[in-house]
Amino acid sequence: MIGLASIAAFEVANKRAGTTLYELDVVSEEGGMIMSSAGMQVLTKRVDEGTYDTLIVGAGLEIPTASPGLVRLLRSSAQNARRIASICLGAFILGDAGLLSGRRATTHWRYAKALQERFPSCRVDMDKIFVEDGTIWTSAGMTAGIDLVVGMIERDHGSELARTVAKGLVMYHRRSGGQSQHSALLELNAREDRVQRALNFARANLKTRLGIEELAQAASLSPRQFTRLFRAETGTTPAKAVELLRVEAAKLMLEQSRLPIEEVAREVGFENRERMRLAFTRVYGEIPRSIRNEAGPLATI
């Protein structure tokens, strides 16, 4: 059901623009009432082949298989629609229709491997909120469908309207699909309050020195106690955890700003550009310049 929430972004765009920028329909193969995965009924119109500017495919909570009729519709629409998109596991339906062949795509991180195995000619990027590859757009989880639609609005009508829509929906204005589906703090998975306190301190003070002494003080522990507890909680060392937090913050800055790479390195606490490059290679397997280039012209201050 939450997959339908992306419609709200189009609605807000219409309202803020003071005109109908987008005419919205919820459609299905047969039309009428359909049951959502949450058990709520949704009134739909019967799909009309070949008449859509933008077609967004949703799915439930399990990996779907497209019906023959839906496959025909998507293949037909691919010839004349301006763009076709999927939300979350809807990417599997696009794949069934052959629309992901030779393209980049994403889906929910939990099912990214399955998508790659099912459609080996697609390059699945499990670390993106959404991916735009030509006329095909795919989003990660269901709420990421809203980010995808805000990205479409920005592509159609500029960053000012997209920012206004995002603000109206009380969400971050994610200007590109580059944000990770994962958070470094979630990945470290610290349950102990003192370790979490140290991690929160580190993330808020990335530009400063973050040695064992500073982190231990934030956790109200001795350096020896802190190091032992930190490794037991996270499975890694404090130094590696700080590097992960710095790289995550730098990646976001590279995608959403035009600050020089040297300045990004300083802002997140790397001694220099080369130190940051080595850290990026360890964590992401990419250098900062590649990530900046992937963000494209949408990156801005």
So which residues are the catalytic ones? 88
According to DSSP, the residues that pair with 43 across neighbouring strands are 33
> What backbone phi and psi angles, to 5 degrees, belong to 221?
-135, 165
Instruction: Write out the DSSP string of 215-262.
Output: HHHHHTS-HHHHHHHHHHHHSS-HHHHHHHHHHHHHHHHHHH----HH
Q: For residue 13, give the 3-state DSSP assignment.
A: helix
What's the burial of 20, exposed, middle or buried (CB within 10 Å: 0-12/13-18/19+)? exposed
CA atoms within a 13 Å half-sphere pointing along the CA-CB vector of 41? 4
Find out whether 137 and 148 touch, Cβ atoms under 8 Å. yes
In whole angstroms, give the CA distance from residue 44 to residue 42. Answer: 6
Nearest to 247 by CA among 291, 293, 217: 291
**Distances from the Cα of 269 to the Cα of 206, 230, 246, 258, 287, angstroms:** 5, 21, 7, 18, 17
Specify the pairing of strand 27-28 against strand 32-35.
Answer: unpaired
- Look up residue 81 and give its two tokens: 């629609």
The kind and range of the H/E element at 18 are none
